[in-house]
Structure 1
Amino acid sequence: MNPKFFTVEEANALIGFLENTLERIRRNRQRYLWLLEEIAILKLIVECGAQKASRDSVELEEKTQELKAVEAEIEKARATVRDTGCILKDEERGMVDFFSIQNNTVVYLSWKKGEDNVKFWRSIRDADSNVRRPLEGSPST
């Protein structure tokens, strides 16, 4: 699949969508981690054969199903970001990259959750780096 290339304006037009989607991912990740803890505790209770183990077994199954549903929601949200052509660089920090051509060079436009618009770019060669440079004419924040 060929990458989608964005202008700064096209990338900026997606910020509202990205803010909402990243927040949904964050909330679901919190829920996912909480469910993992609950499931671990319920497994211990069931394995120890404590009283009410049958009720706990049912709850364990319910929580396991809920965990799968939350995991599916997270993946669905990630897929909606990918479907736009954006690259979810760092989910926890809310960093998103957009392929772009600036000054006849292929670069990543770089946006981070909380920023009001795209103000930075990164070199394709530094794909594993988080070093962001200000776009020409954009104030650095």
Structure 2
Amino acid sequence: MIHELHFSVEEANAMLSRVEPMLRGLREARDRLTDSEAHAALAGAAPANGGGEPGREVGEGFLEVRRLLAELQELGIVVRDIDRGLIDFPAILEGREVYLCWQLDEPEVGFWHDLETGFGGRRALD
């Protein structure tokens, strides 16, 4: 087994109300890191002062991304794609380790895939 913690479908679905705002926050924090206006302002800011407001904003974005990723990992959740809000919950189905797969705006955890196949191998839960 790769993962120590495994979720049932019910447990994964119960986590969604907690995880969804975290994923939205993760996406917003990541956007602060990749905001072209912030990077342009940062490039023009005096290096001696740490980049001023743009530098602070980018730094805070980085810390928030790191904090949220660590929190999700501590919960046992695997973040796959920040843009899509795609996550996996380790699970045991039919005696083998798999991932229950969910992404933002899906109403519930309704898919799974083998450890090796990823999103392309998603199958509906029966």
Q: Normalized against structure 2, the TM-score is what?
A: 0.84
Alignment of 1:1-141 (within 5 A): 2-34=3-35, 37-44=37-44, 60-127=51-118, 129-136=119-126
Q: How many residues align?
A: 125
Cα distance per residue 1:12-50 (max 9 Å; x no partner): 11111111001111111222222x533434534759xxx
Contact 1:39 1:60 in 2 (8 A): no
**Structure 1 residues 59 and 85, CA gap change in structure 2 (3 angstroms):** closer
Output the CA distance in 1 between the equivalents of 2:81 and 2:28.
Answer: 16
In terms of Rg, which structure is larger? Answer: 1
Deviation, structure 1 residue 2: 4.6
Output the CA distance in 2 between the equivalents of 1:23 and 1:45.
Answer: 29
Deviation, structure 1 residue 89: 1.2
Output the CA distance in 1 between the equivalents of 2:57 and 2:46.
Answer: 18
**Structure 1 residues 45 and 58, CA gap change in structure 2 (3 angstroms):** closer
**Structure 1 residues 10 and 65, CA gap change in structure 2 (3 angstroms):** same
Q: Normalized against structure 1, the TM-score is what?
A: 0.76
* Structure 1 unmatched ranges of 5 or more: 48-56, 137-141
Identity %, equivalent residues: 30
**Structure 1 residues 125 and 46, CA gap change in structure 2 (3 angstroms):** closer
* Structure 2 unmatched ranges of 5 or more: none
Output the CA distance in 2 between the equivalents of 1:45 and 1:64.
Answer: 8
